[in-house]
Amino acid sequence: MMLFKPVLLWTDMLLWLLLAGVAFYAWRVRRREHLLQPWRRLLRSRSGVASAVVLLAFVAVGVLDSLHFRLPLEKLGNGGAETHYSPEVLSVFDLMVGPLRKQVEKTYSAPFAAHLYTKETIELPGGKQVRDYPRLKFGGAHLREPAREQAGDVAVTALQGGVYALALCGGLAVALAVWLARRRGISPGAAWTMIRHGCDEIPWRTLLATIGLLVLFVCLATVFSAKYHIFGTDKVGQDVFYLALKSIRTGLMIGTLTTLVMLPFALLLGIMAGYFRGWVDDVIQYTYTTLSSIPGVLLIAAAVLILQVYMDSNQELFDTVAARADIRLLFLCVILGITSWTGLCRLLRGETLKVREMEFIQAATAFGIGHFRIIARHILPNVMHIVLISIVLDFSALVLAEAVLSYVGVGVDPAMQSWGNMINGARLEMAREPMVWWSLLAAFVFMFVLVLSANLFSDRVRDAFDPRVR
Amino acid sequence: MINYIIRRILYAIPILIGVNLLTFALFFVVNTPDNMARIHLGVKHVTPEAIAKWKHERGYDKPLIWNSAAQGAKQASDTIFFEKSVGMFAFDFGRSDEGRDIAHDIKTRMWPSLAIALPVFVVGLAVNIAFAMLMAFFRATYIDLSGVVLCVAMMSISGLFYIIGGQYLVSKLLHLTPISGFDAGSNALKFIILPVVIGVVGGIGSGARWYRTIFLEETSRDYVRTARAKGLSELSVLFGHVLKNAMIPILTGAVVVIPLLFMGSLISESFFGIPGLGSYTIDAINAQDFAIVRAMVFLGSVLYIVGLILTDISYTLVDPRIRLE
């Protein structure tokens, strides 16, 4: 009997493909100085380093959340040798944050609350009944009298988290200083002075500060979420912090897979239009002008509506809820890709028109090299900077678009955790008194941090890669 | 000039035909009328008779492109394609799946949309240019830097939060404006103010930053150096020379969205309960009313193409160096 049954969702598969592509690119770049140059420039800017660290943290959560599996169900009696697996699809990340997932309350509760949001009839030990806010099952359950003890408990827990973070950061700083000293052939003390005064090409101080903040956040979140619901709970009592963390994968998938899906079309058609010109160019230009003249949201809405109809009439194709939600996510990426490839295609066409007139292309043609080889060896490498810049630029817009589309009702599956769905759910409760604001806050904080770092990072990428800026 | 415009309009026709064919394929071939009927009547427990009746009431029971049962010209005209898609070129949008006249709905609902979208556009343009000028005037100082940081931060906030936050702060806490709703005539003003302010504020981030780069690009040109060399103050260089020249990319970039203002904004209209075309579209999406969505897709494309033509014309108006042949 297996301990678990691995599940490979479609989006997971594409994500691994994407990571393999990134690894291949990194391997190529490492050996070529001229390709390495822009990355070096990127690493020298402070906002570039800081945003890259934050983005990497998000990506780490997203990747861990993409290792899916199903656990076996407990055997009922000693029937057949065949094991049955739970219909619930879990990820490695779910195991890591175990208690967050399992500590489900009855309904809404505010952040750090020890009581439920709504009044209920509670039966006292004597048999009497009162209407009051009942205690939560998990949040602040260790306190005997929350009103009196909570402030002290929060302070002590924060201190505890702070001490952990400090110890970790100190260790990291020492490790960095020793490593840097080894590399540069100086004493660790001198390396530390260099880090502190920021007198090296790479802004180590910023790097260390960003990692320190992240470590502090992770430590505080860990110690607090063991005792409280940091961002409260939602309508069915799920921890909002857990939902926000799970939404990271959805956001990243939309931001990256969309580009991955559209990239082959944009590359192939854009370069073909610019390289062959003539009727090929006319046909391709006509195609993308037609597609881009349809307002994006409407085309997406139309396509998603039709997908919904298809999925509703073919429900037997999907064996788990996760598989169904996953297919919908994948199609959303495809549809977003179809509406957004036109911009990149146009840019690539323009750049190819310019590149194909260069002398080295004429030389290649004179040597009798075929069209395919010219495109692959000479044109493609010279337009790749555009591809990279537009991938990074599009990312933040796509993450924001997810929220809007979920609001319109054509976003990801309602069963899938996403920031858009969180906002959408919270919107319906805005009129309540007191207001249920914590889901909005959690979605806002997570989206803001991700999109802000993506925006900063894309600015630096453009500065480093755009030949016109240099 | 007239020749050019006529040619541009002729160019637009094949694109509109493409859009039309695409929407037809999406709505009737990929997604058959049977499926549509099933969605509306409930997926389970639906009889073939009910589906046939639903299709017949809406004219979806005809052949898709070619009616071999009919006689003469009717073979091509008595079909779904002719009745539902070809009519759109004459802005005949037919009836929605609920039986409402779409063209009439559009005519009445575009004015509230315009009442919000037009002030957002005009005020937003002015505010963004003002902010960008400020940053360009103080370029490479802390004012400029903090302005750019503020812009990037504002860009990173989802539009939904501007609306939710604005509604909460202004309407719920301060009670300055009603939370949502709309009224005819001058009473509409109090309903319009908040969506307009939020629309403008939400657009500052990306708008002001974009215009700032345009201004900075202009300030590195030779004519700016000449203007400074002849002793003009920085302010008069900025307003007299840079602004004028920067207006070319700014205006031509803005003109393309003017026709689309009629369509309104999907999100803010539905949050504020404004009976415009944006909320009309959202309602249609939620009610899965395919006829309305199809009409809006076509209308949006037409307006976008009109915007492109207007852009080309505006080039010649603001930039005398460009002549359209």
Q: According to the model, what pLDDT value does residue A23 have?
A: 93
Q: Is A423 on the interface with B (CB under 8 A)?
A: yes
Which letter does DSSP use for residue B82 in this model? I
pLDDT (tens digit, 9 = 90+) per residue, B143-192? 999 999 999 999 999 888 998 888 888 888 888 888 777 877 777 788 88
3-state secondary structure of A283: helix
Consecutive 10-residue runs of chain A (470 residues): their mean pLDDT? 76 89 90 86 87 93 87 63 74 81 79 78 77 76 76 85 90 89 84 80 85 90 83 83 90 89 89 90 90 83 79 73 84 87 90 89 90 90 87 88 85 86 82 79 92 91 76
Contact A273, A349 (CB under 8 A): yes
Interchain proximity A444–B267, CB inside 8 Å = no
Cα→Cα distances A418→A252, A253, A437, A454, Å? 10, 11, 17, 18
Q: According to the model, what pLDDT value does residue A352 have?
A: 92
Interchain proximity A404–B263, CB inside 8 Å = no
CA A457, CA A455: separation in Å to the nearest integer? 5
Give me the phi and psi of B9, to 5 degrees please: -65, -35
Q: According to the model, what pLDDT value does residue A54 have?
A: 93
Contacts of B300 in chain A (CB under 8 A): 294-295, 298
Helices (H), chain B: 2-24, 33-41, 48-58, 74-77, 80, 102-137, 142-155, 159-166, 189-219, 222-229, 234-236, 243-255, 266-272, 277-286, 290-318
Q: According to the model, what pLDDT value does residue B130 have?
A: 93
Interchain proximity A459–B152, CB inside 8 Å = yes
Residues near B133 by Cβ (< 8 Å), separated by ≥ 6?
B215, B238, B239, B243
Cα→Cα distances A43→A38, A200, A207, Å? 9, 11, 10
Q: Is B156 on the interface with A (CB under 8 A)?
A: yes
| Lowest-pLDDT choice from A146-160, B57-71, B206-220 | B57-71
Domains delineated in chain A: 146-225 (no CATH), 240-465 (1.10.3720.10)
Contact A255, A398 (CB under 8 A): yes
3-state secondary structure of A130: strand
Question: 């005809």: which residue's tokens?
Answer: B62
Q: Is B297 on the interface with A (CB under 8 A)?
A: yes
Q: Is B169 on the interface with A (CB under 8 A)?
A: no
Closest CA–CA distance from residue B226 to any residue of chain A (Å): 24
Contact B75, B66 (CB under 8 A): yes
CA A422, CA A428: separation in Å to the nearest integer? 11
Cα→Cα distances A72→A1, A69, A76, A83, Å? 9, 10, 12, 7
Interchain proximity A309–B36, CB inside 8 Å = yes
Task: Please give the radius of gyration of chain A, using alpha carbons only, rounded to the nearest integer.
Answer: 26
Contact B52, B61 (CB under 8 A): yes
Q: Is A400 on the interface with B (CB under 8 A)?
A: yes
CA B261, CA A111: separation in Å to the nearest integer? 41
DSSP B194-247: HHHHHHHHHHHHHHHHHHHHHHHHHHTSHHHHHHHHTT--HHHIIIIIIHHHHH
Rounded to two decimals, the pTM is 0.89
Q: According to the model, what pLDDT value does residue A90 have?
A: 83
Best residue in B28, B162, B260, B285 for a mutation probing chain A (most A CBs within 10 Å): B285
Q: According to the model, what pLDDT value does residue A80 have?
A: 56
3-state secondary structure of B188: helix
Contacts of A394 in chain B (CB under 8 A): none
Kindly compute the dihedral angle of the four CA atoms of residues B310, B316, B319, B323, in this order, to the nearest 10 degrees: 140
pLDDT greater at residue A443 or residue B62? A443
Q: Is A456 on the interface with B (CB under 8 A)?
A: yes
Interchain proximity B159–A286, CB inside 8 Å = no
Q: Is B69 on the interface with A (CB under 8 A)?
A: no
Contact B307, B260 (CB under 8 A): yes
Q: According to the model, what pLDDT value does residue A267 have?
A: 92
Burial A23-52 (b: 16+ CB within 10 A, else e): eeeeeeeeeeeeeeebbebbbebbbbbbbb
Q: According to the model, what pLDDT value does residue A349 have?
A: 92
Which run of H or of E encompasses A129?
A: strand A129-132
Which ipTM was obtained for this model? 0.85
CA A234, CA A237: separation in Å to the nearest integer? 5
Cα→Cα distances A303→A220, A338, B19, B81, Å? 43, 10, 14, 19
Q: According to the model, what pLDDT value does residue B133 have?
A: 92
pLDDT (tens digit, 9 = 90+) per residue, B87-100? 777 777 777 777 78
Identity of the amino acid at B197: V
Give the angle subtended at the CA of B149 by the CAs of B144 and B152, to the nearest 5°: 125
Paired residues of A109 in beta bridges: A233
Q: According to the model, what pLDDT value does residue A4 have?
A: 78
- Please determine, for residue B295, whether its predicted confidence score (pLDDT) is greater than 80: yes
Q: Is B27 on the interface with A (CB under 8 A)?
A: yes
Q: According to the model, what pLDDT value does residue A82 have?
A: 66
Q: What are the structure tokens assigned to A2, written together?
A: 């297996």
Question: 């037409």: which residue's tokens?
Answer: B302
